[in-house]
Structure 1
């Protein structure tokens, strides 16, 4: 573990790159990206966008009663070799491995999200993971959240940051946390001190197994499209284009569900998981 001074005066604790673990070429092929000539801001933007548009957020493991693993070899196998997606911790920890192997300085940050932007922060601390990337200034990167920006967010910027997904603003709280506001709705709150990967394991187990967790045992899936996103909550499919809901339907037929899930998220299922009926999408 190495320690480097961050641009914002904080101390960034970084795990060393793991080129022996990360097959960079295979990972880049998985997200349809070229190897960058250098670890700069422009390349980071391309990598983040390609990741969001090719690797879905999905909680299939939760529907099977399985606890996902964030061990580096496990997340890389799941995302790169098996062409699956994963939860926020899996997606962001895997992306951190890729970025570090490409020469970026990356720190894991932990926090919590709002449930659909409507309720106060739910769940325990470290229920969400965000990456802090140090370049000429400090950026926040998130590839594991359906409301995430498609480009890195400048940590020091107090005003609106315009993005293909809307308007974003980072609010620095009096106690040192940072809240992300998307189109006027607060979506997550992140603590700024560095976290180790082990800090998230207990939370992942809780999210996968606790009946008190919102949506526990249910299927959540989302992926970015060129004009918006496609999300699924159990059998309810919702598509947004340019901020407008353009598709909203319940996939009651199993064959239709399996076909849509593969077409939208690139994941072939042998059968539909046992999903509880829901009346509202995401």
Structure 2
């Protein structure tokens, strides 16, 4: 089935390069990976369904950092990891893979850089996070984000400034200084996103920082987290945290084999060697 052509692109949504549009077979492989049907039209309802399927099947995880695996911000390499190896990743990885899929289905997609708000209420470094501006066939704009861990279940209306109710909470996009936008969840700022489209290579420094800096929580902790139909499951080291219909459960996995089984059975990740945080594990918040 083919997708209907999209309308002309507004000035802040650049036309993707030819190399960023996957082949039909690559799109079909990605759809199989997330258990989704190819949409008839690149519209908002189809985007909602794809967003949900991605969150239910592709984990938010930082295992590569602790397995000694290189993280290359290259579309082919990231598709090989997420689709071919059936892994997940952090924001730069899974949102890039999702962007490539959406382009292959006829959506217009821009990469946006964002700065995550810390506990002290200040935004972090530039290129701290990647989010996606997606334009549908009808010209509607959505803020999609499958790489922020525990966040919105569905894309947010990029141009709406009122409350947006979602299974993940009540979200609001508000104007911020210098033309940026703040994304709030239940009244608390999550990240400040810039409207200017960026290229994948622009995020290299941010990805390097989160792989190597002691000021980033990623090198200091393990996280593998996945949305479920009834809540969320998170494995942080040997601690398995489940949230089911609002009820939180927690238990410590007693052996390496039990941990490997959890990665395989709960997240679809087969590991010969378990990731280890050098110097100890601190619990990680899945975002």
- TM-score using structure 1 length: 0.89
1:209 counterpart (208, 212, 216): 212
- Cα drift, residue 44 of structure 1: 0.6
CA contact under 8 A between 1:92 and 1:144: conserved in structure 2? yes
Q: Where do residues 193-204 of structure 1 align in structure 2 (5 Å cutoff)? A: 193-204=196-207
CA contact under 8 A between 2:211 and 2:219: conserved in structure 1? yes
* Compared CA separation, residues 38 and 55, structure 1 to 2 (3 A): same
1:161 counterpart (161, 164, 183): 164
Q: Which residue of 1 aligns with 2:282?
A: 278
* Runs of at least 4 residues off by over 6 Å: none
CA contact under 8 A between 1:22 and 1:101: conserved in structure 2? no
* Compared CA separation, residues 209 and 230, structure 1 to 2 (3 A): same
Q: Which residue of 1 aligns with 2:179?
A: 176
What SS does the corresponding residue of 2:177 show, helix, strand or coil?
coil
* Separation (CA, whole Å) in 1 of partners of 2:160 and 2:90: 28
* Separation (CA, whole Å) in 2 of partners of 1:151 and 1:281: 20
- Cα drift, residue 122 of structure 1: 5.8
1:96 counterpart (94, 99, 105): 99
- Cα drift, residue 235 of structure 1: 2.5
Aligned-pair Cα RMSD in Å: 2.1
Q: Where do residues 74-153 of structure 1 align in structure 2 (5 Å cutoff)? A: 74-115=77-118, 118-121=119-122, 123-135=124-136, 136-153=139-156
CA contact under 8 A between 1:107 and 1:194: conserved in structure 2? yes
Q: Which residue of 1 aligns with 2:73?
A: 70
What SS does the corresponding residue of 2:160 show, helix, strand or coil?
coil
Q: Which residue of 1 aligns with 2:188?
A: 185
Q: Which residue of 1 aligns with 2:266?
A: 264
| Residues 24-69 of structure 1: per-residue CA shift (max 9 Å, x gap) | 1110000000001111111111111000100001111111243411
CA contact under 8 A between 2:127 and 2:205: conserved in structure 1? no
CA contact under 8 A between 2:220 and 2:282: conserved in structure 1? no
- Cα drift, residue 163 of structure 1: 1.1
Q: How many residues align?
A: 273
Q: Which residue of 1 aligns with 2:55?
A: 52
Most deviating of 133-142 and 72-81: 133-142
1:251 maps to 2:249: no
* Separation (CA, whole Å) in 2 of partners of 1:90 and 1:125: 17
- TM-score using structure 2 length: 0.88
Unpaired runs of at least 5, structure 1: none
- Cα drift, residue 230 of structure 1: 1.3
CA contact under 8 A between 2:169 and 2:186: conserved in structure 1? yes
* Separation (CA, whole Å) in 2 of partners of 1:48 and 1:279: 27
- Cα drift, residue 281 of structure 1: 6.0
